[in-house]
Structure 1
Amino acid sequence: MQCTPVVEGQPDPCRDLAGGGDAHCQPDPTRGYICCGSPNLLFELLTGHSSTNSLVWQALHLDLNKFAQLHNQNGYNPANPIQDDPIPEETQTNPPQKLIKLKETTSKASKKIIVNREKPIQSIPAMSSTKSNRIRIGPLKPKNYVTENGPILSLLSTGHFIPSLGFKATYSAPSTVVHLQDGACSIIINTGLPMQRNELKSALQSKNLFGQIFNYTVITSTQPQYIGNINLFNSDALILGTLITRGTKITSSPLKVSNIVKLCSPNTLLIQTPGPTEDSITVIARNVPGMGTVAIGGSLFIQDDNLNRVDQPFTSDVIQLFESRRKVICETDWLVPGHSVPIPVSNKLKVDVEC
């Protein structure tokens, strides 16, 4: 403990701190002045007993004398004890590895801020099957993915998609289940297969979400891999395609008459993306921290960002599928396929669909 030296004749502050024990304020080469105590005081502090006429103190005093003799004989260096007491070779461990701090952005370009972005998603026109005649001049503008108040996206389960081709095609297809937290509003997107129930329950418990009533549960396509655990997610509203269930009432979604519907806020939207099924929908999450605009569309992209991929059992209309894919790619930065982890939308992909 550091101390302030006193003028001769004044009481030593260290003695007061030690309760009248044998302690003094002494100079230290590296820390100015510190309180130093005698071995007697150390014994009293460690044991709570006085060292006077104590057999324990006498034994400790002898041990301290022996230690001092070893110190003088062997040149003990307390500043580097590992050299004097090495770990045996058979039990020696490697030094801890340095942690690698990941960069917050994926490229220098992502730090730039766009003032005039492309048209917002509300203005997406009806798509045609013909290619666009627009010509892009120059590279695509980089986006700014840094945001403070956007919705938080997390995966409750990550699916996979493995076809087994034989006399009759079968698929191992647990789906990706997504949770979006948009302020106080909470959204579940797709619910997986029944066999994913225990995994989803554990994920909800780990996030303190188990038993919570969500604002929305959204099923992007009425296909088996997305509807297996609807009863695990209690919600104020269940959205299946263009139908909404609230309690015992089923009504048509506003998507019947509109191309886009707001869920929690302008940051979480629903759009029509027919192709996987006639009434398939996609959730668009804007301003997601570190990602930007994210599309969660289930079977719109089964497992990857392959524009020409068609999985026939999960496709009702190929032309509509391609049109919906183009619409989503042109307005988003990330895709969450129905059966994999999120995938970034590359500039090449946007050029390929002629955004």
Structure 2
Amino acid sequence: MMKELRYLLFIILLIGGCFGCEKGLTQLRYKQSLELMQCTPVLEGQPDPCRDLAGGGDAHCQPDQTRGYICCGSPNLLFELLTGHSPTNSLVWQALHLDLNKFAQLHNHQNGYNPGNPIQDDPIPEEIQTNPPQKLIKLKETTSKASKKIVVNREKPIQSIPAMSSTKSNRIRIGPLKPKNYVTENGPILSLLSTGHFIPSLGFKATYSAPSTVVHLQDGECSIIVNTGLSMQRNELKSALQSKNLFGQIFNYTVITSTQPQYIGNINLFNSDALILGTLITRGTKITSSPLKVSNIVKLCSPNTLLIQTPGPTEDSITVIARNVPGMGTVAIGGSLFIQDDNLNRVDQAFTSDVVQLFESRRKVICETDWLVPGHSVPIPVSNKLKVDVEC
């Protein structure tokens, strides 16, 4: 594993050091997908967007001949982003650094560069030396009175969608208690009707290729669709429904996690008894407020399928929680709460209305779930390190 990681990093640094970035810097990439961090240039004096994408590290938005603009930073920063560890005293980093020294000497020789002391490394200029990234999530110590973490009160019934409540629970636990048993016969079945992706094409005007992930939950006899994708996904979704003998079926719920274009393109493909958009519910010709207006959590089909408020992507964004999913445990389907990976500090400005709320909602979901379904990728397991990072 360590050897594979070493050579993966070497290849990335070798390629990244040759193209796009100034000398001494390398292209930065996301941990989960290894895709390049792309950015939108800002006016002089404004904060560089790459610093947020790199978790507060010393990153810079620089032009690239083929990709518009990309984030560049030191090899140390790339190593930390990909591994989650500081290069200091890392055996992987030491071995990688030796490989890079050999490559640098060969590259300099081929280009006629003759340093004063060919045995020693060319030192990195001070202006690009960095400290480890600072976490953007600023967590305050909470008391039982001010705590925003939600936990189910087992003595009181969870509100269901048709019901309204006049009281708001302070703490609702939505995840299973340890020890966790992921083998269950009665939990909801989760399947993906379409798997999305998220590819920015950035210049001075940002555009995105962003078909979204569409999820089907079967909770007993109750059926839920979470998000509906872009209109260009219609044929793919229709084929998926036909293969599962679901085409033409009337679902119990269609849930739109955020009122953003990539989630609402095929609402008319999924005929449902209830369409839930944020904190509003449509039934036939009637539009009413969801119980989420007055409660932290509401029940959909059963106590295994729930809705919670997760503002941040939009003011009224919501997340579907599926508990006791076979082989997975507790799963959060949150749309733009996590765009395509589990990077806590990633902020996609076009799909974020409030950064502080976004981080608070991410923490709440991470602390209570075992898997995440981002808006534009396959499901991702929630690691113990991720829970430690947000101080669950």
TM-score exceeds 0.5? yes
The residue aligned with 2:197 is 160
- Note closer, same or farther for the CA distance 1:83–1:321 as it changes in structure 2 (3 Å cut): closer
Which string of whole-angstrom CA distances, capped at 9 and with x for unpartnered residues, describes residues 217-258 of structure 1?
Answer: 000000000000000000000000000000000000000000
Query: Is 1:47 paired with 2:83?
Result: yes
Partners of 1:108 and 1:183 in 2: how far apart?
37
> Taking structure 1 as reference, are residues 126 and 339 closer, same or farther at Cα in structure 2, changes over 3 Å only?
farther
Which deviations, in whole Å up to 9, do the C-alpha atoms of 1:186-205 show, x marking residues without a partner?
Answer: 00000000000000000000
Report the alpha carbon displacement of residue 112 of structure 1 after superposing the two structures with TM. Answer: 26
CA distance in 1 between counterparts of 2:41 and 2:285 reads: 82
Pick which of 112-121 and 125-134 moved more: 125-134
TM-score normalized by the length of structure 1: 0.62
Structure 1: any 5+ residue segments left out of the alignment? none
Q: Is 1:197 aligned to 2:234, yes or no?
A: yes
Label 1:8 to 1:170 Cα distance change in 2 as closer, same or farther (>3 A): closer
Cα deviation, 1:71-95, whole Å, max 9, x if unaligned, reads 9999999999999999999999999
Q: Give the C-alpha shift of residue 7 in structure 1.
A: 107
2: CA distance, partners of 1:320 / 1:39: 32
Matched, 1:288 2:319: no
Using the size of structure 2 for normalisation, the TM-score is 0.56
In structure 2, relative to structure 1, the CA distance for the partners of 1:81 and 1:33 (3 Å cut) is farther
User: For residues 11 and 276 of structure 1, what CA distance do their matches in structure 2 show?
Assistant: 21
Equivalent residue of 2:146, what SS? Answer: helix
Give the deviation of 1:45 after TM superposition: 75
Higher normalized contact order (CA 8 Å, seq sep 6+, divided by chain length)? 2
Matched residue SS, 2:159: helix
2:324 partner SS: strand
**CA distance in 2: counterparts of 1:52 and 1:240, whole angstroms:** 47
Moved more, 29-38 or 284-293: 29-38
Deviation (angstroms), 1:143: 2.3
Q: Quick one: structure 1 residues 331 and 166, their matched pair in 2 at CA, closer, same or farther if it must change by over 3 Å?
A: same
Question: Alignment partner of 2:273: what SS?
Answer: strand
Identity %: 97
Paired residues of 1:220 and 1:240 also in contact (CA < 8 A): yes
**Distance in 2 between residues matched to 1:323 and 1:50, nearest whole Å:** 26
Tell me, yes or no, if the aligned pair for 1:110 and 1:144 is still in contact at 8 Å.
Answer: no
- The 8 Å contact of residues 52 and 345 in structure 2, kept in 1 or not, is answered as no
Equivalent position SS for 2:143: coil
* Residues 107, 148 of structure 1: alpha-carbon distance in 2 compared, 3 angstrom cutoff: farther
State whether residues 121 and 331 of structure 1, in contact with CA within 8 Å, keep that contact through their aligned partners in structure 2.
no
| Partner Cα distance (1:308, 1:2) in 2 | 15
Q: 1:7 to 1:176 in 2, by over 3 A?
A: closer
The match for 1:235 is 272
Q: 1:312 to 1:149 in 2, by over 3 A?
A: same
Q: Shift in Å at residue 167 of structure 1?
A: 1.9
Contact 1:134–1:354 (Cα < 8 Å) also in 2: no
Gaps of 5+ in 2: 1-36
Distance 1:104 1:289, change over 3 A: farther
Q: Which of these two proteins has the greater Rg computed from alpha carbons?
A: 1
The corresponding residue for 1:300 is 337
Contact 2:69/2:202 (<8 A) preserved: no
Q: Deviations over 1:134-162 (max 9, x none)?
A: 99999995522111100000000000000
Report how many aligned residue pairs link the two structures. Answer: 355
